[in-house]
Amino acid sequence: MSGDPRVEIGTADEVGEVIRFEVIPHGDDACVVTVIGEIDTMTAPALRAQLDEYLPTAPLLVLDLSQVGFLGSAGLAVLVAAKYDAERSQHRLRLVCGSRIVIRALEATGLLGLFDIADSVTEALRPTA
């Protein structure tokens, strides 16, 4: 860890009851956004807002999905859009799936190969050759 403070972000409305975010900056080069909960039609806009906030400023954004209990089509659409947004800005989006639920959703839709996947946050933060 970089020693930077952990920032917890959630909302007080009903969306905040099913999804929560923890954001940990790693210096100027990387940021880890951990998603906790379900990503569906109701919560996908909250995920999009998080990605819109951190993708432009972090050359590497690690999206830790290991605590996601459901990933629906609206969430998948947000992930695809974020990947293309990152590429347009010459930044990287790296996913830590960490659960069969997330892997299965990506596999079933043929999207798994589209993303840079890491087995852990530690691996995702390592520089690539």
> Cα(61)–Cα(84) distance, rounded to whole angstroms?
13
Q: What is the DSSP string of 79-94?
A: HHHHHHHHHHTT-EEE
What is the pLDDT, as a whole number, of residue 4?
44
What is the pLDDT, as a whole number, of residue 121?
97
Nearest 10 degrees: Cα torsion 9, 12, 17, 22? 0
Residue 3: band (very low, low, confident or very high) from pLDDT cuts 50, 70, 90 = very low
Mean pLDDT of 14-27: 85
What is the pLDDT, as a whole number, of residue 8?
45
Residue 6: band (very low, low, confident or very high) from pLDDT cuts 50, 70, 90 = very low
What is the pLDDT, as a whole number, of residue 15?
60
Residue 127: band (very low, low, confident or very high) from pLDDT cuts 50, 70, 90 = confident
| Domains, the chain, ordered by start | 23-125 (3.30.750.24)
> Per residue in 45-82, pLDDT tens?
999 999 999 999 999 999 999 999 999 999 999 999 99
Q: Which two tokens stand for residue 30?
A: 């990387």
